[in-house]
Amino acid sequence: MVTARSIQLVAGPMNARVRAILIIAAVVLLDRVTKMYIRVHVSPFDLFPVIPGFFNIIHVENPGAAFGMFSETAGQWKTVFLVGVSVVVLIVIAGMLFRKPAAGAAHSALTQTGLALVFGGALGNLWDRAFSENHTVTDFLQFFFGSYEYPSFNAADSAIFCGAALLLIDLWRSRKGTADRGQGTADRGVGSGADS
């Protein structure tokens, strides 16, 4: 017999998976479109101030990892290493996103969204690294905080950052909730002992 509960068990995880796929697709699409636009319309020597002294649009081809790490390292091994690490990260996140959750252990919407954002961002940067002519990642957002220049980044990096932030917030909320429930149980135990 089909009940509302059985429909919810089937439809709930499917909706979360569909939502994750849509988020991933949106991140990759935004990342691809913005990087293609920058490659075509902004030369590596151009600088377009959006908010002078704070935010510029530029064109940088990053041969390294996040924030330019390993960019000075020469050799083909670097590309193979960075692609390999990206593939492993994608496999781990895909397993977390798309495996059938144990009973009562489904990810929260915040965790699902965070994982999807990280996956989409990692996939966008992997695409550049694996398929661009020089195996570089196109960065184009440049921020300054006083005299400090924040390393240039792109839409994929932004998605990774936002996804990681959502995962940390969800972790903090779940731990805080567990601690609050534990404190409430301890308080009830103390109170009931005093009443006897």
> Does residue 58 contact residue 42 with C-beta atoms inside 8 Å?
yes
CB 164 within 8 A of CB 121: no
Distance CA 74, CA 78 (A): 7
The one catalytic residue among 139, 180, 187, 195: 139
128 is catalytic: no
Structure tokens, 101? 């959750």
- Dihedral of alpha carbons 161, 162, 167, 170, sign: positive
Helix (H, G, I), strand (E, B) or coil at 19: helix
Give catalytic status of residue 170 as yes or no: no
* From 31, 46, 128, 157, active-site residue: 157
**DSSP structural state of residue 149:** E
The residues annotated as belonging to the active site are 139, 157
